[in-house]
Structure formats: C-alpha cells, structure tokens
Structure 1
Amino acid sequence: MSEPLQERIAQAAAELEAARAAVERAQTDLSQASATVRSKDRVVEATVEAQGGLTGLKFLDNKHQNMTGPQLAASVMEAVQQGRAQMAHRVMDTFAPFTQPGPEGSVRRGLDLDWNRIFGSALSGGGQPGSGRAGRDRLRDEIHEDDEGDGNGGNRT
C-alpha cells in the first residue's frame, strides 16, 4: 500500500515541477512582452508592458499640434487604456492553463484567480463601446477646474 502512495507523491512532485517550469517560462515571455496601440484619431501611439506600465509614447505626424490640451490628453489616455487592456488579456491567456484542473488522475486543482481584482479598470478599457468615456469626461472636468481655480488660467508660476 505504500507503493501507490509513493507513486502518487512522485507524480505530484513531477507535476509541481512541470507547473513551476511552465510558470517561469510564462513569466520570462511576459517580461519581454509589450503592446503598441494607436488612438482612434491616430494622433498618439502608446506602448505598454505586461504589468501595465507605459514604456513608450509617440505623437504621430505632429497632428497633436492642432489639438487642445484636453483633446490630446483624451487621445493619450485612450491609447494607454487600450494597450493596458490588450496586455491584460495577453497575461490572462498566458496563465489560463494554470487556472484549469489537471487531467484525470492529476493532483493539480487549478488556480482560482480574480482577474478583475488583478487588472482592475484595464480589463474594461480595451476599446469596447463606451469604454473610457467617463474617464475622459472626468479628465476634462479636472483640467477645466484647474484652469478656473487659480486665477492664472491654469498656469502656475
């Protein structure tokens, strides 16, 4: 009877080692991953890394020179949010196999991950209809309030 128990322990150890190696490969792949996304108006290009950090920002063809500050800010935010959403989905796809139970007879149960808690607003800002609209309006409101509040047209000296 100790033979089957030792076999199961060996199988579990082998599965654990395989899962550890697979997670390490996934982490290595994602550490080098990024998404580059353009705003809908094609004014801004943002590059975002797997953890959601902004690693690059380009203003394309000097189109931004004809925009107001709030318009440019909205384009930047849109591109960054789309990039974050794209990378969040890539991370989810990469780690999806670890959320599933192993095959019949496996000891692997699968992880229960709350992706919304991990990525927050990045999941809802990925170019879905109406996504990011409230954020853009809020940003415009905040910029507008700054312009009115200091009696200096928003310019600080």
Structure 2
Amino acid sequence: MSRMPDGIGPGEPMEQRLTKAMAELDAVRTAAAAAEEQLRNASLTVRSRDRAVEVSVGASGELLDLRFLDGKYRTMTAAQLAASVLEAARQGRTEMAHRVIETFEPLTRPSGDTPEFGGIDIDWERIFGSALGGGPGARGARSAGDRLRDEIHEDTPDAPRPTRGRDQT
C-alpha cells in the first residue's frame, strides 16, 4: 500500500476528492443561481400598526410602493404620518431581509460529502445592516460586535465598559 501525501487522509485519492469538491462547487453555484432567480422579482407588502400606511418592499429592501389607506392620513399630523411610513418601511425591510437569509441559508451549511467545503460565509450584517434588527433603537437589536463586547466584559469584571463609536479623547 502506498503512502498518501501529507494533508491527504488514507482512503480516497486526491483526484476523487478534487472531483467531489468541484461537483460540490457546481452544486452550490446552481443553488445560488436558483435562489437569486427566486428572489429577483420578490416583494412583500406590510402595513403600519395603525393601518394608515402600506408599503411594498423588494428583495434588496428597496421601497417599491407606498399607499395611504382609508384616508387616515387626512387626520394625522405630518409627524404621525412620517412615523407610520418609516415603521412600515422598516418592518418590510426586516421581513424581506429574513426571507433572503432563509432562502440562502442552506448554502451556508457545511457539506457532508466534502468536509473541506464549509459552506458559503455570508456577512448578513454588512449586507442588510439595520434591517436585521428592525432599525436603530429596536428592542433586541444587537450586533455581533455588541454581543462580543458583552462576552469580553463578562470575562473581565473589573474592566471599564467599552464605548461605541469613536474614542473620545
């Protein structure tokens, strides 16, 4: 029995592993193209809590349509109407972001056939930003950086709390 080169486990020859990896890559490309096609013309419609405003949002979070319902806007102040529009738009962006993540999530999982292929690494925070948390100030909206700072703080109880943004000197 011949010895396998370093980095290659016993059993499967390098050519077979490479063939499997290439097939896995092709399958991921095909699945990504199908997911993109599925989302190409995707949209969803949401209403504000006060049911005064309805918005339609596209797959990129863009506002596609805005409707004022039942003449409610006539009795609202400008600030109330603006708040309803923003609320509906944020909700639409958040729901669409989660739909996009759900569509691409299977591509982020490791492959069972090719352990070297750990799935696609997607930075959802970078892509969707505030849409994932429902906007600035949303309850429960915490970035990965916030969670990491909390864990670091928990590890060092006497350390000062980190500040957000630029250093204030």
Aligned with 2:105 (options 96, 106, 109): 96
Q: Does the 8 Å CA contact 1:12/1:106 hold for their aligned counterparts?
A: no
CA separation of 1:51 and 1:23: change in aligned 2, threshold 3 A: same
User: 2:89, 2:31 → 1: CA distance?
Assistant: 29
Question: C-alpha offsets along residues 17-64 of structure 1, whole Å, 9 cap, x if unaligned?
Answer: 110000000000011211100000000000001101000111111111
Question: 1:104: Cα distance to partner?
Answer: 4.9
User: 1:64, 1:104 → 2: CA distance?
Assistant: 57
TM-score, with structure 2 as normaliser = 0.70
CA separation of 1:51 and 1:129: change in aligned 2, threshold 3 A: closer
**Which one-letter code corresponds to 2:72 in the other structure?**
K
Q: Which has the higher helix share?
A: 1
- Taking only the aligned residue pairs, the percentage that are identical comes to 52
Aligned with 1:44 (options 30, 48, 53): 53
TM-score, with structure 1 as normaliser = 0.75
CA separation of 1:121 and 1:28: change in aligned 2, threshold 3 A: same
Corresponding residue of 2:67:
58
Corresponding residue of 1:32:
41
Question: After the TM superposition, which residues 47-86 of structure 1 pair with which residues of structure 2 at under 5 Å, given as runs?
Answer: 47-86=56-95
Instruction: Could you tell me which runs of 5 or more consecutive residues in structure 2 were left unpaired when the two chains were aligned.
Output: 5-11, 142-169
